Amino acid sequence: MPTFPNTARLSQPDHYRRVFDSPEYKVSSGAFLLLAIPGATQSSRLGVVVAKKNIRLAVRRNRIKRLVREQFRHHRFDGAIDLVVLARSGADKMDNPGLWQELDRLWRMLEQKVNS
């Protein structure tokens, strides 16, 4: 069984567009911006945007995507949300534990906003 199934992904451009056009929840830091809306499906879905303009090396972009997906697996929301995580240029300067802590903090902040 895949650890990050297709049902947990924002796969179509219009899925991303819905989140970008009218995000109901926003949480940000120097390294990340999280945008979310109430989900259109039964379960939460994740989209990750790591621009080559912000993070040049593919190895670093892929590392960030892996950590974001793993964080998503560990933090399930009560209701279904569609979430897009945008990595900023500061993200590739952080080590893995630093990224994990930053994402964990942002996830908790988002969870408070969604559940309030």
Q: What is the pLDDT of residues 21-76, one digit of tens each?
A: 999 999 999 999 999 999 888 889 999 999 999 999 999 999 999 999 999 998 88
Confidence grade of residue 2 (pLDDT, cut at 50, 70, 90):
low
Average pLDDT in the 68-90 region? 91
Say what the pLDDT of residue 79 is.
83
Lowest mean pLDDT among 2-16, 31-45, 57-71, 79-93: 2-16
φ/ψ (deg, to 5) at 54 = -85, -40
Count Cα atoms within 13 angstroms, Cβ side, for 115: 9
Say what the pLDDT of residue 35 is.
97
The structure's pTM equals 0.92
